[in-house]
Amino acid sequence: MNRSPRRRVLAATLSAASAVLVASGAVLLSAGNANAATTLGASAAATGRYFGTAVAAYKLSDSVYSTILNREFDMVTPENEMKWDATEPSQNSFSYTSGDQIVSQAQSHNQRVRGHALAWHSQQPGWAQSLSGTALRSAMTNHITNVATHYKGKIYSWDVVNEAFADGTSGARRSSNLQNTGNDWIEVAFRTARAADPAAKLCYNDYNTDGINAKSTAVYNMVSDFKTRGVPIDCVGFQGHFNSASPVTSDIQQNLARFAALGVDVQITELDIAGSGTAQATSYSSVVKACLAVARCNGITVWGIRDSDSWRASDTPLLFDNSGNKKASYTAALDALNSGGTTNPTTSVPTTSPTTVLPSTSNPTTSPPATAGCSATVSLNQWSGGFVATIKVTAGSAKINGWTVGVTLPSGAAVTNSWNTTASGSSGAVSFANVSYNGSVNAAASTEFGFQGTGVGPSATPTCTAR
Site for ligand G3I in 147-186 (CB under 6 A): 162
- Min dist CB 1 to ligand G3I, Å, is 5
Least Å from the CB of residue 99 to ligand G3I: 14
Judge whether 81 counts as a catalytic residue: no
CB of 77 to ligand G3I, least distance (A): 9
Q: What is the DSSP string of 166-203?
A: -SSSS-PBPP-TTGGG-TTHHHHHHHHHHHH-TTSEEE
122 lines the binding site for ligand G3I (CB under 6 A): yes
Per CB under 6 A, which of residues 180..219 are in contact with ligand G3I? 207
CB of 440 to ligand G3I, least distance (A): 32
Shortest reach from residue 207's CB to ligand G3I, in Å: 6
Binding to ligand G3I, residues 219-248 (CB under 6 A): 239
Q: Which is nearer to ligand G3I, 239 or 377 (CB)?
A: 239
Number of residues in contact with ligand G3I, rule: CB under 6 A?
10
Asked if 309 touches ligand G3I (CB under 6 A), the answer is no
Q: How far is CA 25 from CA 20, 46, 256, 362, 375, in A?
A: 9, 22, 14, 7, 25
Residue 70 binds ligand G3I, judged by CB under 6 A: no
Instruction: Report the alpha-carbon distance of residue 91 to residue 80 in Å, rounded.
Output: 18
How big is the chain, counted in residues?
Answer: 467
Choice between 80 and 142, CB closer to ligand G3I: 80
Question: Which positions from 40 through 69 interact with ligand G3I, judged by CB under 6 A?
Answer: none
Q: How many Cα atoms are found within 13 Å in the side-chain-facing hemisphere of 462?
A: 31
The H or E element spanning position 86 is: helix 84-87
* Least distance between ligand G3I and beta carbon 316 (Å): 15
Q: How many CB atoms lie within 10 A of CB 19?
A: 10
Which residue number, 39 or 123, has a Cβ lying nearer to ligand G3I? 123
Contacts from 361-370 at CB under 8 Å and sequence distance 24+? 361/22, 362/22, 362/25, 362/27, 370/396, 370/397
Residue 329 CA to residue 318 CA, distance in Å, equals 8
Closest to ligand G3I by CB, 59 vs 109, is 59
Closer of 127 and 311 to ligand G3I (Cβ): 311
Task: Select from 79, 81, 167, 197 the one that contacts ligand G3I (CB under 6 A).
Answer: 79
Give the one residue of 72, 81, 234, 270 binding ligand G3I; rule: CB under 6 A: 270
Is there a contact between 269 and 301 (Cβ–Cβ < 8 Å)? yes
Instruction: Give the burial class of 12: count Cβ atoms within 10 A of its Cβ; 0-12 exposed, 13-18 middle, 19 or more buried.
Output: exposed
For residues 389 and 418, the answer to whether their CB atoms sit within 8 Å is: no
Which single residue brings its beta carbon nearest to ligand G3I?
A: 311
Catalytic residue among 72, 88, 270, 448: 270
Burial letters 332-345, b for 16+ CB under 10 A, else e:
bbbbbbbbbbbbbe
Output 109 or 121, the one with its CB closest to ligand G3I.
121
Q: At residue 158, what is the residue type?
A: W
Which of 80, 110, 177, 344 is close enough to bind ligand G3I by CB under 6 A? 80
Going from the C-alpha of 295 to that of each of 348, 363, 428, 432, the distances in angstroms are 9, 19, 32, 24
List the catalytic residues.
270
Q: Site residues (CB under 6 A) for ligand G3I?
A: 1, 79-80, 122-123, 162, 207, 239, 270, 311
